[in-house]
Chain A
Amino acid sequence: MNLVTIALKSIKQRFLSSSLTALSVSLGVMLMVAVLVINGVVTDLFSQQSFGFNLVVGPKGSDLSLALSAIYRLERSGEPLPYLYYKELQQHPAVEKAVPITIGDLTEQGGFPIVGTNAEFFEMDYSYKKPFRVRGSFLKTPWDAVIGSRVAATNGWDIGSEFKLTHGGVKDHVHEEKFRVVGVLAPTGTPNDRTAFVSIAGFWGISEHEKPLQEAINRLEKFRYTVPQSLRDQAEKEKQPKKPDAHGHNHADHAELLDEQKEVTAVFLRTKGETGFAAIRLAGEINEDVRAMAINPVPVMNRLMSLIVDNIKLMLLVLTSLIIAVSAVSIFVSIYNSMADRRREIGIMRALGARRETVFTIILAESALLCLGGGAIGLLLGHGMVAVASPIIESRSGILINPLAFEPTELILFPVLLVVGSLIGFLPGLAAYRTDVAAALSE
């Protein structure tokens, strides 16, 4: 028998009030843990400090919007870029690798974002020194698809599965063409896990994806490309009313798609050389031009983090701290109220030879144990809550959350709870310390 077991006994004796106070702590801790875990995941996601590319080139507009659509696939893309512009970037002397992507469609099943790209995409690390790993193969032929681990798990797809796309998220607008899964990516913990990659050639081959020629011509002119006369002729022809039997497309129809008609949503660039100077210079060059915009996603995402995510995080943490403070007060009230009943008990312990410090310690241990016990339960409940919430969050936002993801901040919780518990126990402990033995015994 020692002071801790004595404290445990008293807790057990007041089981109902003890468990209620511990419960209030655990609820506070539960919320705090949930907030920490979710924040940790969001922070990790958006503060990825390195990508396999150092520039994202997209249409002029908001840099944040470009990053959110091209990298996180959380936003619809803006005006696409002509394929010729991608070609131009590819030929730029500072560029080591240029990878085009097209986005906007979703898988018919599960609604996962589709990224049309080529095999080179997978040659870029998805994070610092982390290359893509695939079961099967990367994109080869036009109707190949490589799916992220989450897509495979959720949709139950594997190599050989075939799927259709819905156009731009329009529910009933399903494209006829089918893609075939040739590879499944190993989990990366990035938005790639919930992305279905298809060959950009196949993407262009989808019947409704080529631009109306006149629009394509306008775009090309805006980008200062010479428009071939054949294209102008074709555009004129297109304006004529169509023959009634000119419906029903097959892949062969689109094999003839001209480069001038193709477009990309964004281009991932990796510049030559180890230092970032080439990237900065190239970005400057692209941004001076009215045609497109180049961003380095890292500072853009950092800005988003500090602007929004950090503030939300702070707010949630303040809220949960308040909840913990409220439960701390309730522990205090409960222990303090119990002191009246316990005066006699404390008097007896003192009469048996317990020193003032000893009874003080017992009360302190009691409140610390309540806090720690409640905290431990709260930790489990918090992760449980995340486990319950993660599929919902994922389906709504596409953000993957591992319920077991342990935030280092959670470890601080225990010393903090210990301190809080001791602070709460201090006044009642002092009351115990000051108990007059003879008076307490004669009660």
Chain B
Amino acid sequence: MSLVLDNLKKSYREPGGGKIPVLNVARFELKTAEQVALIGSSGGGKTTLLNVIAGITTPDSGRVVIDNIDVTGLNEPSRDRFRAMKIGFVFQTFNLLPAFTALENVLLGMCFAGKGTDSHRATDLLTRVGLGHRLQHRPPQLSVGEQQRVAVARALANHPSLLLADEPTASVDVANQNTILDLIRDACKENNVSLLLVTHAPDVAARFGRIEKLSDFNRP
């Protein structure tokens, strides 16, 4: 899975009516199975960038090309389907559904991808993030770090080709931070998944071969 960002621009509308330019990326590339740590100052637009790549937010102009498919050019239902099938997303705020158990949260992603649910795989993924004993817990019954790990398991559930992770280790202790990081990186390596991981922690970034600072290629 390769990712190319081409002349990507995104600005938000200010409450007053003016525009806040957030993204202006001339070019950014991610090769198949490549793993990149993305760092940058808070409010710099990292989350916005991930949202645009995932098709959750539409850019003002420019293209997002994944595996030679211009995702920005797809109509919405195709983009939703593409996201469900190809992109795994670990949100900064986890975004687990509180009514559903850890296991069901992982199954949900499978359900929306329309491939049918596989509880074996879901259980396996949760076991690998160390939550084999928390399958039937709902998010409010889980610690923040455990919720983070459910989010990781969910992002991996559909065999994505591109994994976007927004500070997946921000809320866990160092031991768990390394476990989760290893899990994500190993899973990506095994399956030739490209990984774009946002982090604020220098020691997390340091483990990546390629580290990108957003402000280096983003000039809003």
Binding site for B on A (CB under 8 A): 1-2, 6, 9-10, 12-13, 344-345, 347-358, 437-438, 441
Contacts and interface: CB of A to CB of B under 8 A. Distances in A.
Contacts, number: 74
A261 B111 CA distance: 89
Contacts of A348: 95-97
Given A350-B56, A353-B84, 4 more contacts: A345-B99, A351-B89, A353-B85, A354-B84
Contacts of A358: 112
A13 B99 contact: yes
B62 to A, nearest CB: 17
Q: Is the interface of A mostly helix, strand, loop or mixed?
A: helix
Contacts of A6: 108, 111
Nearest to B99: A13
Contacts of B99: 9-10, 12-13, 345
Among the interface residues A1, A6, A349, A356, which one has the most CB atoms of the partner chain B within 10 A?
A1
Interface of B: 51, 54, 56-57, 76-77, 80-81, 83-85, 89, 91, 93, 95-100, 104, 107-113, 117, 154, 158
28 contacts: A1-B107, A1-B110, A1-B117, A6-B108, A6-B111, A9-B104, A10-B99, A13-B98, A344-B95, A348-B96, A349-B108, A349-B112, A351-B54, A352-B108, A352-B109, A352-B112, A352-B154, A353-B80, A353-B81, A353-B83, A353-B85, A354-B80, A355-B77, A355-B80, A355-B112, A356-B80, A437-B57, A441-B56
A437 B111 CA distance: 18
A345 B94 CA distance: 12
A6 B100 CA distance: 9
A1 B97 contact: no
Contact of A350 (B80, B85, B93): B80
Given A1-B111, A348-B97, A353-B81, A441 B104 contact: no
Contacts of B158: 353
Contact of B84 (A13, A352, A357, A441): A352
Contacts of B109: 352-353
Contacts of A2: 111
Nearest to A439: B57
B51 A438 contact: yes
A24 B133 CA distance: 40
Nearest to A355: B80
A10 to B, nearest CB: 6
A358 to B, nearest CB: 7
Contacts of A356: 76-77, 80
Among the interface residues B80, B100, B104, B113, which one has the most CB atoms of the partner chain A within 10 A?
B80
Among the interface residues B54, B99, B110, B113, which one has the most CB atoms of the partner chain A within 10 A?
B99
A438 B112 contact: no
Contacts of A1: 104, 107-108, 110-111, 117
B85 A441 contact: no
Contacts of A441: 51, 56, 91, 93, 95
A416 B200 CA distance: 56
A399 to B, nearest CB: 49
A45 to B, nearest CB: 51
A196 B111 CA distance: 68
Nearest to A9: B99
A351 B56 contact: yes
A226 to B, nearest CB: 93
A358 B109 CA distance: 13
B122 to A, nearest CB: 10
A217 to B, nearest CB: 89
A391 B52 CA distance: 70
Q: Please list the 6 inter-chain residue pairs (A to B) with the smallest Cβ-Cβ separation, ordered nearest first.
A: A353-B84, A13-B99, A438-B57, A354-B112, A353-B112, A348-B95
Contacts of B100: 9
A375 B180 CA distance: 48
Contact of B113 (A9, A350, A353): A353
A327 B75 CA distance: 39
Nearest to B107: A1
